[in-house]
């Protein structure tokens, strides 16, 4: 097997095309999350926050910020990556890409890198918007950035898999709408799982999103529903599973050859 240097020019070219597509809808990409975040604070922060003053010693308005960021991060990562690779399949340009002197690793790095960049940017915009509503103090900023990047890359890989698997636009939206979004809402985005009855708390621990949100919330407040070590381990495990699935897809040509 011949080895060769990584083709950074090819990665950059694909990355620029994907980012240019986002820049054409920059207003929508920026305004939409700002408005959505503001509405969440109006509904949850004002309506529910007036009844729940604190959760685990943190004001309710500040408590929901990591959940809001994670909700957008997961959906945006999956959406950007899945559409990014699905569109070349849809128009037929995927065959030109696969026949070009570009490795599978370089293709994945470009598409996933662009999707992760977009979702992290939106996450930071939501964080800045939230700071206008509630005072925020990030106790572990290094870990906050680390969890943000790790989650964005992991779910961009997951979105890449969905984009390969989807046979039409309906399937493209199926998993994000019917699986990921409900799991995020039920994963402690707007509440602590310690507030649930014992049986329901046990059931909730089978939700993988709980560990993502818990670890990310720990980076803000130093408090979490589950151990931060477990959260990091679960995220890395899902990352490795996604890498393994993508490797299998390119080895077998699943949904790429036809």
Q: For residue 2, tell me if it sits in a domain.
A: no
Q: Is the pLDDT of residue 50 over 70?
A: no
**Band (236; pLDDT cuts 50, 70, 90):** very high
Tally of structural domains, the chain: 1
Domain that holds residue 37: 8-252
* Cα 217–chain centre separation: 15
Averaged pLDDT of the chain? 87
Q: For residue 258, tell me if it sits in a domain.
A: no
Q: For residue 135, tell me if it sits in a domain.
A: yes
Query: What contacts 165, CB < 8 A, 6 or more positions away?
Result: 171, 255
Rounded to 5 degrees, φ, ψ at 184 are -70, -45
Among 2-6, 40-44, 72-76, the least confident range: 2-6
Q: For residue 86, tell me if it sits in a domain.
A: yes
Give the three-state DSSP class for 44: helix
Q: What is the pTM of this model?
A: 0.91
Nearest to 108 by CA among 23, 1, 15: 15
Nearest to 61 by CA among 80, 33, 38: 38
Q: For residue 58, tell me if it sits in a domain.
A: yes
Q: For residue 14, tell me if it sits in a domain.
A: yes
Q: For residue 69, tell me if it sits in a domain.
A: yes
Q: For residue 214, tell me if it sits in a domain.
A: yes
d(CA 244, CA 241) in angstroms, rounded, equals 5
Residue-wise pLDDT for 146-190, tens only, equals 999 999 999 999 999 999 999 888 889 888 888 888 898 888 888
């Amino acid at each position: 097997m011949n080895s060769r240097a990584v083709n950074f020019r090819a990665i950059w070219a694909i990355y620029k095309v994907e980012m240019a597509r986002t820049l054409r809808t920059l207003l929508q990409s920026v305004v939409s999350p700002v408005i959505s975040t503001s509405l969440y604070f109006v509904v949850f922060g004002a309506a529910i926050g007036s009844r729940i003053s604190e959760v685990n010693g943190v004001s309710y308005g500040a408590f929901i910020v990591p959940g809001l960021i994670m909700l957008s991060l997961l959906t945006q990562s999956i959406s950007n990556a899945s559409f990014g690779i699905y569109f070349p399949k849809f128009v037929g340009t995927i065959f030109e890409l696969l026949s070009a002197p570009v490795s599978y690793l370089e293709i994945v790095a470009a598409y996933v890198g662009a999707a992760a960049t977009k979702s992290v940017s939106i996450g930071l915009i939501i964080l800045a918007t939230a700071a206008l509503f509630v005072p925020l103090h990030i106790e572990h900023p290094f870990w906050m950035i680390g969890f943000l990047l790790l989650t964005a890359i992991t779910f961009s890989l997951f979105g890449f898999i969905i984009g390969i698997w989807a046979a039409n636009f309906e399937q493209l939206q199926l998993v994000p709408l019917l699986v990921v979004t409900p799991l995020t809402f039920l994963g402690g985005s707007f509440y602590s799982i310690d507030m649930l009855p014992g049986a329901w708390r046990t059931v909730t621990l089978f939700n993988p999103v709980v560990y993502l949100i818990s670890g990310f919330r720990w980076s803000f407040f130093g408090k979490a529903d589950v151990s931060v070590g477990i959260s990091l381990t679960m995220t890395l495990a899902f990352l490795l599973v996604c890498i393994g699935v993508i490797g299998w897809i390119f080895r077998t040509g699943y949904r790429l050859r036809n």
